[in-house]
Each structure stands twice: as C-alpha cells, then as structure tokens.
Copies of this chain bind each other. A is one copy, B any other.
Amino acid sequence: MAALKYSRQREAIKEFLMKRKDHPTADVIYLGLLDKFPNLSLGTVYRNLTLLSDTGEINRLRLGDGVDHFDGNTMPHYHFICEKCGRIMDMEVEGLDSFFDSTNSHFHGKIKGHVTYFYGECPDCLKDSCS
C-alpha cells in the first residue's frame, strides 16, 4: 500500500466519527461536514472511510440493512440494530468474547474472526408502540 499523506478532510472525518456514539453512514458524515468543507464530495468521504478502516482507525459495520455504518470506537464491542428505526446501539454481552476465545470447532480452515450482532426493537421504539 502506498504511503498516506495528510489531508484535512480525512482528519475531519475521523474526528467526526470519534465524537459520536451513534454509527453514522457515509451520507450522514458527508452532510455533517458540509459546513466545514462546502465543496466536500461523497467520493472523498467514501475513499477516506475505506482508508481509515483499512488502517484500523475506524470500523466499517455491515449489519444487513444494506448500508454501511462507521464506528470510531475500535475497542471490541457488540451492536444492536433496531428493526423499526434503524438505530444502532452499542451492546455489552458478558462472556461472549471468552466464549469465542475458548471455543474450538471441528472446522478445518483458518478462522480469523467472527461477526455478531443483535436485532430487535430498541427501548425508544418499545415505549412508543405501547402508547
């Protein structure tokens, strides 16, 4: 891979992601930075998101809703996606990490990792549907 050079846009994208605890899409990031970079283009956002996740500075989340979400929190953790409002929330699942660490399957390939996420109805949507 070629050497990276500094870019204000990339810096801003990373900073934007670190500040938020939701898990914005490329489009949301783009819109959120338009005031700072009036000529910003979606392509630039996508390119930098790819670069940043290649270097491991951010995470790309593919949670089956057809859109990529991005996470500035690179500490390992799990996610919950609300089927109603689409919101994505961090979730702690006690013992799951150690389960995966200790499990040994009969699989004859090299397991590099796993993806796990949960889905259902988030607290806010639950509240609304009971009214």
Contact = CB atoms under 8 A, between A and B. Distances in A.
A39 interface: no
Interface in A53-97: 62-64, 80, 82-83, 89, 91-96
A99 B109 contact: no
B115 A120 contact: no
B64 A111 contact: no
Tally of this chain's copies: 2
Contact of A118 (B96, B99, B114, B123): B114
Given A64-B115, A114-B118, A118-B113, A123 B106 contact: no
Contacts of A95: 99, 103
A94 to B, nearest CB: 7
